[in-house]
Amino acid sequence: MDLLRIFAAVSVMAYHYLFSAYAGGLGGLHFPQADMVARYGYLGVDLFFTISGFVVLLSAWDRSPRSFVSSPAVRLYPAYWVAVTLTTLVSVGFGEGRFPVSFPQYLANLTMLNSLPDIENIDVVYWTLWAELRFYALILVLTWIGITAHRVTIFCWAWLAATFAFQAGLLPHATDLVLNTQFSHYFVAGMALCLIHRYGATPQTLALVGVALGNAIYRAVGFADRVGIRYHTELHRPVVIAVVVAIFAIMLAVALGVTQRLGRPWFAVLGALTYPLYLVHAHIGFIIFERLGDQVNHVLLVAATMLLMTAVAAALHYGVERPLAPRLKRLLDRRAAYAPMK
């Protein structure tokens, strides 16, 4: 799983550095051979969502709502606060107006809830965190109900059914705030795969994965068409379909334990860097390309920027996440412990 997280993060970074930066008019870096592959790197996000469906449900099993609710705060916020601040400082100080940031926008982004009042993200990649938070909220509801294999199965079928109803135009647009239909199938697939991991494959869980795969292909093709329109290029549908199928096939292999012997201890070390790397790489990298793109060899510049962002991610993990996460958890646990006394 950690290796998949590493691959997903590098894929997204390659998408931004080798394709979208140039296609979006940033920095003038052009890699005509590499971008034919890198343009599909955004599908690393789809892999991330499938992994989240798996691991978040797994981590919530047998936990109380109060215990679970501290998990996203501890896991997501410490590195995010520093990443938002760092990205803001670089954008204001060196962006030359390319990525303007206002103080109210900065404060709103710190909450990770800025999408609710439709306040723009400071970095383009932060939109995925809003999708993750909504998924956490749904899992929190499950912890209140009580997580069992039967209830999770019903929940997954209900979420898929609501997704199909929304796509058919039978539900109001506002319901998508909860349903998150663009990516719900990945979360559902991850949850079904978690059931397979815990209890083995059954016709019902395999059917859930298969139906989620069908909708994932349908939505991924439409999304790829919109990406092509945005960047005035073409993303080939067969490639997109093949990548989505590969995501499901590999995750199924993980759930069945087929890949267990491939694990290595250092995968976990690199896997821990994926979240901070995802948070810091995009706009800061784009600004580096704009400022240095006409002065430095493009291959060296991209390679050096990738190494720099990895070093920043390591600093965030070891200097922020590891020391602050336990303290934040203790603080939240103390507040939760005293809550019934108020």
Q: Domain limits of the chain?
A: 54-61+147-263, 68-142+264-337
Residue with tokens 């990770």: 112
Q: What is the pLDDT of residue 186?
A: 98
User: Comparing C-alpha atoms, which of 155, 126, 138 is closest to residue 56?
Assistant: 138
Residue type, 265: P
User: Comparing C-alpha atoms, which of 90, 40, 1, 52 is closest to residue 280?
Assistant: 90
Residue with tokens 């050096």: 304
Residue type, 158: A
Number of residues that make up the chain: 342
Contact 2, 55 (CB under 8 A): no
Contact 255, 196 (CB under 8 A): yes
- How far is the CA of 337 from the CAs of 64, 142, 325, 326, 333, in angstroms? 13, 21, 18, 16, 6
Q: What is the pLDDT of residue 74?
A: 82
- How far is the CA of 71 from the CAs of 78, 138, 237, in angstroms? 12, 14, 37
Q: What is the pLDDT of residue 72?
A: 75
Tokens of 257: 């334990």
Q: What is the pLDDT of residue 341?
A: 39
For the entire predicted model, the pTM comes to 0.93
DSSP at 317: I
Q: What is the full per-residue pLDDT of the chain (342 aa) written as tens digits?
A: 999 999 999 999 999 999 998 888 776 688 888 989 999 999 999 999 999 999 999 999 998 888 888 777 788 899 999 999 999 999 999 998 889 999 999 999 999 999 999 999 999 999 999 999 999 999 999 999 999 999 999 999 999 999 999 999 999 999 999 999 999 999 999 999 999 999 999 999 999 999 999 999 999 999 999 999 999 999 999 999 999 999 999 999 999 999 988 888 889 888 999 999 999 999 999 999 999 988 889 999 999 999 999 999 999 999 998 888 777 777 766 665 555 433
Residue with tokens 């990738």: 306
